[in-house]
Each structure stands twice: as C-alpha cells, then as structure tokens.
Amino acid sequence: MKIETKAVHAGDRKRDPERPGAFIPVTTPIYTAASYVYESTEKLDRVLGQEEAGYCYGRYDNPTLAALEDLVTELEGGHASLACASGMLAVQTALLTALTDRPKRVVAANALYGATLSMLTKILEPLGVEVQFVDICDAAAVEQRIADVKPGCVIMETISNPLLRVGAIDRVARMCRHANAALIVDNTFATPLLVRPLELGANLVVHSVTKFLAGHGDVLGGVLTADADHAQVMRAINRTSGVGMGPFEAYLTMRGIKTFVLRMERQCANACRIASWLGGHEGISRVHYPADPAHPDAEIIARLLPRGLYGAIVTFDLKDAGKQDIFRFMDRLKLIVKGTSLGDVHSLLLYPAIASHRDIAPKQRERMGISDGTVRLCAGIEAVDDLIADLQQALD
C-alpha cells in the first residue's frame, strides 16, 4: 500500500472483537476518559498486567492516541509508535530508550535544532551523559568518532535545521550496528514522504508533529517510532513517566495527516521555485536548498530523496545584513508570517539567531554556518507567485 493511501486510512475504523456487529465510527473519536472498566475484574487484572490487550489508565494508553500511533507506525514502517506531548519530549524519550541498557555516551551531529543541542549539553551532560559532536556528513569523521567514543547512541537529523545538510543515514546506521549503538533520526523536516529512516537502518525516529504532519499550526506534539528491538523499552518508559499527547491533539494530528502528502508535495514545489528565484536576487548572498546541484551533499540527496521532493525549507543569507537589517526585512513582509515554527499551510519565516538557535552562543552559531544574516523560510501552500512577490517587495 502506498503512503498516500496509508495517510488516509491507517489507524481508523478498528473493529471491537468483543462487539461484533457494533457500529464503527468513520474517524476515530476523541476519548477523554482517564480510566477504563470491564465487566470482569479478572479481565481488568489481565489488561493491567499487560497479559491482554486493552485500555486501563490514561497515562498508559488511550484509544485516540493508539489510532494516531498506528497511523505513524504505518507511515514510517516501524514496529510501534508513541505519541508525545511535544517534539522535544519525543527526542528525550528516544534518548532514554536508546541509552537504557547501553553506555551513557552520545555522538551527536554538530548541526541540530537548538533545543536538541540544549537538551544534550544542559540536561544530559550535567546528569553524567558524555556528549561528543561530529560533522555527520563526514563519513570518515563519524566512523572515527564512533570508534573513539563507543557511544550508546548516535543522533542526527534527516535534513538539518536550519542549513539543510543531509547525512547518509544508511551508512551511519551500518556504523552504529557494528558498534552496538542505536541510531536516532529526527525526521521532522523530511517527513516519511521523503525519507523513512527505519528502512535505512535507523532504530528510533522522532517527529515534531506540530510541523508538517499535523500541518495547520494548531497542535503541539511529537511522535516517536521504534523498531522491534526498542519498542518494549519505549512503552515501559511511557508507563512510568507518562509522556503521552492529549486526545484532542492526537485527533487533530490524525486529521492533519490525512492531507499531509498533498500539502507536502505543494510545499516542496513552492520551496523549489522560491530557492531558484532567491538564487538570482542580488540582495541574497547564499541560498541553502537540497535541490541545488552544488549542494555539498548532492550525492547523498540524489540517493536518499525522491526526485522532485526536496523539502519545504529554504534557508538564505541577506547580503551584508546584521540583526537590524533582518528585522527591517521581516517587518516589511506582508503575506509570509513571521512565526517561530514551520510546516503550516501558510508560509513562515524565522530568524534562527532569535528563535530556533537563540540559546546557542554566537560563536558556536558562526561555526555552524549560521550568520547574523541567515533566515529560514518554510514554504506554505499559497500561490508561489504571491510568495515571491512578497519576498521581492520586502527585499527591495
């Protein structure tokens, strides 16, 4: 079954084996119950003991969340998923799952979302977890760092935030298997339409569903998908810590996913047009977009990403611009929304220095390639000519 069909049908219209002939809702309802009862206390005992499938307590599981989790598991080709209250909670749970029975050492890509960097350096390191960084696009450097550190896990992004570097997930996965390390991949920017990391050898995949999957700017949530080796630990962590998303958010996310393929295809097409236009503008000094033949990871992109689908994010530098120049440019935008997110149906523009990478020291941002003139645009589903016209008038 193709992903377009899975996005529409997976997770919904489950039949209750104990109620044959009962009506079946076309879409999964919102279940708000904190606990569940059964006619037989013996059955409740079996459900509580995980000897029999069923729902017993909201911290452990919920029918609305379960439907969303089944849907994302189908999309990512995983064994099980866990819907979380935020994308960062999904990242945290992935790290805990990977490190539970492994050395408390992490090798991380040196190009990551700012909050992920902060989690590694400001939360995990003070707790005694060793964190080492590496250029995830340099295969030789990754192999050497894994050999030196002997990590419990490696964490990377499919398409990095915000400079859109693309590492060879399949090659990194082979290195991790050889070292008995788990590979965690944040697939938010790519979505399972472009890349399915588990099929390339990753062990755990995370998404901020706030972005492209829910897609309408009205949900805060995340999801973690695990392979068969990590699913049980992931679930055990949730039963104790209760990281679950709320049922309303799960319902909205599931509704959004039904159209995510259509949205993502349009957003990718718009981003490609915008990147091409920006490349010819005299006020732009640098454009980052995976479709660029001169992209430093062009060989990996050609191998891992579908032709014509290169993501909805375009990152670019305004020529000789500082913070106040960027502020003036952003304030002149009339259609593109100045918001601290991405993946909505409307286009969003963000200044990493004050938003996604605000907590990263200026010198470190500079080493990462994020200058004071760098902005990140996520194309929406609007008419692309209107988006280009808005950029034109704001730049002129």
Task: Give the model confidence (pLDDT) of 216-241 as tens digits.
Answer: 999 999 999 999 999 999 999 999 99
Assign 20 a pLDDT band (cuts: 50, 70, 90): low
**pLDDT confidence of residue 214:** 98
Tokens for 7, please give them.
């996005």
The mean pLDDT of 112-129, rounded to a whole number, is 95
Burial 196-208 (b: 16+ CB within 10 A, else e): bbbebbbbbbbbb
- 260-395 belongs to CATH 3.30.450.20: no
Active site residue 211: yes
Q: Where are the beta strands (DSSP E) in 44-198?
A: 80-84, 105-109, 130-134, 153-157, 182-186
Q: Which residue is catalytic, options 43, 46, 59, 338?
A: 59
pLDDT at 128 over 80: yes
**pLDDT confidence of residue 15:** 72
Contact yes or no for 114/374 (Cβ under 8 A): no
Q: Which residue is catalytic, options 6, 61, 70, 113?
A: 113
Note the pLDDT tens digit of each residue in 336-378: 999 889 999 999 999 998 877 877 777 777 787 888 999 999 9
CATH of 81-245, picked from 3.30.9.10, 3.40.50.2000, 3.40.50.1220, 3.40.640.10, is: 3.40.640.10
The mean pLDDT of 191-209, rounded to a whole number, is 98
Q: Which residue is catalytic, options 186, 317, 372, 390?
A: 186
Strand, coil or helix: what is 43?
Answer: helix
pLDDT at 309 over 80: yes
Q: Is 191 exposed, middle or buried (0-12, 13-18, 19+ CB in 10 A)?
A: buried
Round the average pLDDT of the chain to a whole number and report it. 95
**pLDDT confidence of residue 370:** 86
The mean pLDDT of 17-25, rounded to a whole number, is 73
* Other Cβ atoms within 10 Å of 293 Cβ, number: 7
What is the identity of the amino acid at 28? T
Distance (Å, whole) CA 352 – CA 366: 12
Ranges of each domain in the chain: 81-245, 260-395
**pLDDT confidence of residue 354:** 80
Active site residue 113: yes
- The whole-model pTM stands at 0.95
Distance (Å, whole) CA 273 – CA 8: 28
pLDDT at 247 over 70: yes
Q: How many CA atoms lie within 13 A of 239 on its CB side?
A: 11
Q: Which residue is catalytic, options 6, 211, 263, 365?
A: 211
**pLDDT confidence of residue 17:** 64
Active site residue 310: no
**pLDDT confidence of residue 367:** 80
Active site residue 331: no
